[in-house]
Structure 1
């Protein structure tokens, strides 16, 4: 399958946003430049998650923007989502691929060298490094890796998987996106930068424009 487009990876997070608003927010983001949507929910029951995931998937119908579920392969399969995003404490990439099959998108969080070593050999479709900067959207006991840390981890992964899309997450907005793109990120994952704004659609469109410009500038340099 083709590698996913991770330029603007929008996370609709039920712990940071109104759960009943997630489908509408996902649709607005998809219509205005988000290239990937992730549903993240650390509080809901499994049944609630499946219902919410199905509602988000229905809202995305016709946009061609894939829906991924954070952590929960069971929810992704039940809701007919396009993939999952997993971390170090979740199902292993190998087990996820064995259960999900070859066509489901699998993304992996990378926080340190051990995670990068796994990403270098795992059967995944993209990696997302972070947190790069501090963020208010998630309680994170790990110290932000910063730009230099991002470069180091991305280099480790690309040495083994040259074509693997690598994104960046945490504390990224219109001001910081060009810096992390210039450092080698293929895209950024965000919550606050688009969903904690007065107009989600306009914020998404502006950030997508910033990302595309930064990617073009990096390609020309």
Structure 2
């Protein structure tokens, strides 16, 4: 899963970068923009939905269930401070994907019981994408423990690069990447390299 940044470092528009990523085979894009208001986020999501749909990739919207439903996205990704998973599941269509962020096995179990479809687990190697987490690395073993507790598909996230992605893939989890792709001069090339490591093609999370 490629997680977006509103201003990719390569200097091209977000829409162009997402098109490159899905053309390279990325199975899912998560639209993440903590600064956009609802109107702007909906407009961006609608444009990205057209791109991902034509490529057969999933679009997940971070935090905002209302925006995800409004544009016909494939799912929403929620965190501990967002709408509860159970509330989202109660109003979402049956085939709508609900992701949840946790690195705690017990919380992962509760999220699975509430109706989550997959989990984002991190920060595995630390991350600069979220304040305060640069030095907080949970490590691949925690991903393995969360996956075993929840019995859900898990995506390791946080500081994942071409150099360390195999450590997460060895836990039987997938990967979610932000900086490695969004800060690259050629985002599509990074996606292709990560997919070669994963040995995977296009599939939903």
TM-score, normalisation: structure 1:
0.83
Give the alignment partner of residue 176 of structure 2, picking from 167, 189, 192: 189
Instruction: Verify the 8 A CA contact 1:169 1:190 in the aligned structure 2.
Output: yes
Instruction: Verify the 8 A CA contact 1:32 1:204 in the aligned structure 2.
Output: yes
2:55 is paired with a residue whose SS is coil
**Partner residue in 2 for 1:93:** 85
Distance change in 2, residues 1:174/1:19 (3 Å): closer
**Partner residue in 1 for 2:50:** 58
**Partner residue in 1 for 2:187:** 200
After alignment, is 125-134 or 106-115 more displaced?
Answer: 106-115
After alignment, is 13-22 or 136-145 more displaced?
Answer: 13-22
Tell me, in whole angstroms, the C-alpha distance in 2 between the residues paired with 1:118 and 1:178: 28
Give the alignment partner of residue 154 of structure 1, picking from 147, 158, 170: 147
Post-superposition offset of 1:195: 2.0
Instruction: Verify the 8 A CA contact 2:8 2:182 in the aligned structure 1.
Output: no
Instruction: Verify the 8 A CA contact 1:132 1:147 in the aligned structure 2.
Output: yes
Distance change in 2, residues 1:18/1:69 (3 Å): farther
**Partner residue in 1 for 2:63:** 71
Give the alignment partner of residue 101 of structure 2, picking from 104, 109, 113: 109
Post-superposition offset of 1:138: 2.1
Tell me, in whole angstroms, the C-alpha distance in 2 between the residues paired with 1:118 and 1:16: 35
After alignment, is 135-144 or 171-180 more displaced?
Answer: 135-144
Which segments of 5 or more consecutive residues in structure 2 lack a partner in the other structure?
201-205
Tell me, in whole angstroms, the C-alpha distance in 1 between the residues paired with 2:58 and 2:193: 21
Give the ranges of 4+ consecutive aligned residues of structure 1 lying more than 4 Å apart after TM superposition: 15-20
Distance change in 2, residues 1:17/1:102 (3 Å): farther
Instruction: Verify the 8 A CA contact 1:36 1:66 in the aligned structure 2.
Output: yes
Instruction: Verify the 8 A CA contact 2:2 2:26 in the aligned structure 1.
Output: yes
Instruction: Verify the 8 A CA contact 1:120 1:156 in the aligned structure 2.
Output: no
**Partner residue in 1 for 2:155:** 167
Q: CA RMSD for the aligned pairs?
A: 2.1
* Count of aligned positions: 199
**Partner residue in 2 for 1:178:** 166
After alignment, is 21-30 or 204-213 more displaced?
Answer: 204-213
Which segments of 5 or more consecutive residues in structure 1 lack a partner in the other structure?
1-8, 159-163, 214-221
Distance change in 2, residues 1:24/1:45 (3 Å): same
Distance change in 2, residues 1:98/1:20 (3 Å): farther
Instruction: Verify the 8 A CA contact 1:29 1:204 in the aligned structure 2.
Output: yes
TM-score, normalisation: structure 2:
0.89
**Partner residue in 1 for 2:203:** none
Distance change in 2, residues 1:196/1:31 (3 Å): same
Post-superposition offset of 1:15: 6.5
**Partner residue in 2 for 1:218:** none
